[in-house]
Structure 1
Amino acid sequence: MASSKVAIYTALGANLAIALTKFVAAGVTGSSVMVSEGIHSLVDTLNEILLLVGLKRSQKPPDMKRPFGYGREIYFWSYVVSLLIFAIGGGISFYEGISHLRHPTPIESPYWNYIVLGIAIVLDGTSLVTALRAFNEQRGSQPFWSAVKSTKDPATLVVLFEDGSDVLGLIIAFLGVFLGHQFNNPQLDGLASILIGCLLTAVSILLAHESRSLLMGEAADPVTSQQSIALTEADSIVLKVVNALTFQMGPQDIVLIQRVSLRPDLTTEEIVQGVNRIRQTIQAAEPTIRQVFIEPVSYPDTAS
């Protein structure tokens, strides 16, 4: 969670500074692609603020209204951010690009754009490296795309792909400004803006898909589930774990439900002590399992 916050704060500071410089450059040069890039960075700034809101709300303790806690708040806000990337970032970039194709305006003083784009690439590149480090720390030795599909922390994923699309968008913007000025064809500037809109739309679809899956409810990592079963079956009162269900309430918040077949000769006191012992063993081995529910199943019922 700490690495996620560092990545978000880094991206927030970078995007706010970049948005201001891009809008200044757009006002001086009249570049359509710089307007798109300025809006893109402004949307990214808003996105980081929403992710921070989601992180803060997700850390609220359980109460009577939400007995399983507020962990899924971060999934909701990550989904909202994904939609904003498409609706605002992608939509306005498309609009600016098409408008510029229909009414092309020559770029004045393109060197201002080059300076701003250079500064933006440095800032966004730094933010991208920070987000990539946070993501790599979470995925360990897992392959990159496999980690993208299985991650339970959408905040880091959103920042990573936002920053990646920022850097690619800046490269497209640079080419649009440079080629448009070089060939005296301002329509290339508008085309670059449309390409940025396509890029943002693709990123938005990917992030929305992952965030929606988590919001709808996903099981915990299979390794975590198998470990909990092994620890339960290692206890002296247990014959077999009949089934185990997990669901992810947040990046660091898992609920575990097990139906367990117990030895038939146990007293009530031994069952209570054994269940408490199993719960403590599981939570000590995997602290992200915040709540453990064990339903004892009598041996005859299981045998039938």
Structure 2
Amino acid sequence: MASHGSKKVIYAALAGNSLIALTKFIAASITGSSAMLSEGIHSLVDTGNQGLLLYGMRKAAKPADKKHPFGYGAELYFWAFVVALLIFAVGAGLSIYEGVNKVLEPHPVGDPTINFVVLGAALCFEGWAWWIALREFSTTKGKMGWLEAVSQSKDPTVFTVLFEDSAAMLGLFVAAVGISISHYFHIPWMDGAASIVIGIILACTAFLLAYETKGLLIGEAASDEMEQEIRSIASSHPSVTMVNELRTLHRGPKEILVTLSIDFEDTMQVSKLESVIADLEEHIRERFPQIRRLFIEAQSHKDHETVAKLFDDPV
């Protein structure tokens, strides 16, 4: 997904959450609702998270240097993982803590009218940000299912915002139900129970985000389609006998490292070999501009198999 589209999603969520957090805290202070306080904490954490994602995108855009020869693209994955930790530690932790206190020491919620007004306004803001994130994610989803698209995505910014906003809208519904039951049915502890449920929703969201970003941090290969096409480009060259091995690694959403081990014609002279490698690089980079680093190794298939067996590498 393009950086421009990712930033648009984050800015939309940042604008919405900052306004929502303020109104939720005001409503919580007036009515004494634990569910509303949890929602305020949720929106505040989300606001900070969007700031971290923007920071991660800026750091990831730094050019490669001597200390980091492959660039800083993985910075974005690191900060996305930090976002998942914050949602769990701060958002879920404080919400559950506040909810447990309210359940153990319940007290009536004040006039819930302002709470419902704030929840309605928050739903509009969150729905707007969620729709933008969903639309951006849909442009790259293609024919894949939603879960498969999230699993295959190499850009954590959009699916992080999409997960956060989905959890936020679900939390708004839980808060409304908890406040309603607490006030109209005179069951004060239900307000605290709603806060606990909101915390559990946040914890589940944090787990899903951490799981997806963990894979990106460890290092994920490019798509099968891209690898197949790179192999096809290389193997179709008349001077190539066999593609021994192809390995790809995402260093960022639009930064891919590629290594190729190729068995060329045995009779080829060095000058011709250099020309063929340059030609292959040109064709592969032209087809996939997101490939920032491309290394092609000339190696006989027999030698490649020997080395692979020696180090127990898959051929």
Q: Quickly name the TM-score band, shorter chain normalised.
A: over 0.9
- Partner of 1:30 in structure 2? 32
Matches within 5 A, 1:1-304: 1-298=3-300, 301=303
Query: Aligned partners of 1:219, 1:65: CA distance in 2, in Å?
Result: 23
Report the residue type matching 1:158 in the other structure: T
Q: For 1:104, what is the secondary structure of its paired residue?
A: coil
Q: CA deviation at 1:74?
A: 0.5
Query: Aligned partners of 2:55, 2:304: CA distance in 1, in Å?
Result: 47
Q: For 2:66, what is the secondary structure of its paired residue?
A: coil
Query: Aligned partners of 1:157, 1:198: CA distance in 2, in Å?
Result: 19
Q: Which stretch of structure 1 is more off in the superposition, 230-239 or 250-259?
A: 230-239
1:78-133 Cα deviation digits (max 9, x unpaired): 00000000000000000110010111111111000000000000000000000111
Contact 1:63–1:69 (Cα < 8 Å) also in 2: yes
Query: Aligned partners of 1:136, 1:260: CA distance in 2, in Å?
Result: 37
Instruction: Give unpaired runs (5+ residues) of structure 1.
Output: none
Report the residue type matching 2:200 in the other structure: C
Instruction: Give unpaired runs (5+ residues) of structure 2.
Output: 307-315
Query: Aligned partners of 1:170, 1:300: CA distance in 2, in Å?
Result: 62
Q: CA deviation at 1:298?
A: 3.6
Identity %: 42
Q: CA deviation at 1:161?
A: 0.1
Q: For 2:297, what is the secondary structure of its paired residue?
A: strand
Q: How many residues align?
A: 304
1:52-74 Cα deviation digits (max 9, x unpaired): 00001111111111111101000
Query: Aligned partners of 1:252, 1:299: CA distance in 2, in Å?
Result: 31
Contact 1:263–1:299 (Cα < 8 Å) also in 2: no
Q: TM-score, normalised by structure 1?
A: 0.98
Q: TM-score, normalised by structure 2?
A: 0.94
